[in-house]
Chains A and B, each alone.
Chain A
């Protein structure tokens, strides 16, 4: 009889600390009730097991092996499948991260079950997981149940609260070897390159100033960078402008980009396509500056200015500078 919740935690690159999503997964798992097992796959991640305990895991399964250093789907799915079969959980949770996106559907297929991706709400109705998620680019909400065990879901970043940390809590730690034979691995990572965005990380920024098609061209981002600099924030962009090459892909906010939760989000020349709104659904304070008073972005905005950004932004920036200085 499957029981308990198993989460696939993640470490930041290099394995030095847990990625924030791990806390969110443990928080979501705790809220479902029952024992929580956290799985950590990677290289140099063994030291993070204690941290998982402090964040509410009852048991931590660590597979610390060079072969798992970078996410490689074939290896990760292979190890994940074995762990799930042994642990026999009722629910398995991933973050909607690069790892979760790739791994969760494949693991579901191998375990003869299914997955609900990018969930924003979870509950248990008896043994049945009720998983709610956005669809139609955020225009609709769908609630699913899954036939088969384990019931797998990936969770949208920054939606679920991490538990209060308690350093006196200790988890049982079980170490396993990866045991990945060469024939399991079919794809090969040839190279990796980082696309660095200067300044504050978009995901951590307290203020995000984002630009859309309404900027009219890549040069429109320069004043936004200046404004973000004054506010100690980061610059984001819509998919449309990243696709047109106006701004780096790493700055893309939305369904196919990053989920951000700043205290203040300033949307400049952004119409508010649902694909973009999916990335800011948790933001409470959205400011929209757009020429079109009918733009969808105003539906979600706490403050709105209907006007040409080319006139609004310089005046706004100057005033912000003055207020900050004063």
Chain B
């Protein structure tokens, strides 16, 4: 029975208005925006979609959602279960909350070793908050698994994963023996949206919780230090072209660009 583990993360809603984005420089943290709920990181739900497409073909596939984070991350697991995943595992321990990408990969690897055997681990290409894009491949190195990064299509069949990678000027099809890790990109397509019936069902699914001691680790062993976090200055004086009609504005824009020697 094929087993896919999808690693997911929760992030502040990236669709929130940029004007409301604020940072606490002393604490080096992004401030939550009042009234706006955090959401599953989009590349991660695309990963769940990739797993579900495998399951659509091979029905006896089990999909486990794995996350590391505080209590609120439970909503993200529930969302992924409602999408159609089978099981949820929540690593939830205050001692692990400040994990960097290295420590995150190490903790996820420890958890995956608890729920092995696994055939395929899927991660988003990067989290949409820190945009680092390293947990998936670091996890692969820690597990000793091959990895295919930035994929737009994932198939698993007969002990082999075939994935199409997105290159800057094209695509590349790569094969890897299972078990392996694949990170997925937005070109894969929109993640499916849970139906009401699935949401109700997911609400009843029990989520397994793991702590640091369950995993035999004592805290997050970070390798990278966040020294400063701030909102960069981006003030640009915009010259708005004012005209009586959009047509005239278009013409005046051309004239102004010529005057500025830009065309």
Contacts and interface: CB of A to CB of B under 8 A. Distances in A.
**Is chain B a partner of chain A in the same complex?**
yes
Interface of A: 73-74, 97-98, 101-102, 104-106, 108-110, 113-118, 130, 134-137, 139-148, 186-197, 207, 231, 239, 242-243, 249-250, 255-256, 258, 263-264, 272-275, 285-289, 296, 298-308, 311-320, 323-324
Interface-central residue, B177, B236, B250, by most chain A CB under 10 Å: B250
A21 to B, nearest CB: 11
Interface residues on B, range: 35 or more
Contact of A316 (B129, B150, B176, B253): B253
Nearest to B12: A136
A318 B211 CA distance: 65
Interface of B: 12, 14, 18, 21, 23, 30, 100-102, 105, 125-126, 128-134, 137-138, 140-142, 146-150, 162, 166-177, 180, 185-187, 189-190, 222-232, 234, 236-241, 245-251, 253-258, 260, 262-263
A311 B247 contact: yes
A39 B205 CA distance: 52
Which 9 pairs of residues, A with B, have the shortest CB-CB distance?
A: A315-B250, A319-B254, A311-B246, A316-B250, A105-B134, A109-B141, A114-B223, A307-B246, A186-B146
Contacts of A249: 166, 187
15 contacts: A113-B223, A115-B134, A135-B229, A140-B229, A140-B230, A140-B231, A144-B224, A144-B226, A146-B225, A186-B180, A207-B263, A249-B187, A256-B185, A313-B250, A319-B255
A192 B258 CA distance: 43
Contacts of B142: 109
Given A140-B229, A187-B175, A304 B146 contact: no
A191 B173 contact: yes
A304 B240 contact: yes
A141, A231, A303, A311: which has the most chain B beta carbons within 10 Å? A303
Given A98-B168, A106-B147, A114-B223, A304 B238 contact: yes
A231 to B, nearest CB: 6
Contact of B250 (A73, A117, A135, A311): A311
Nearest to A115: B134
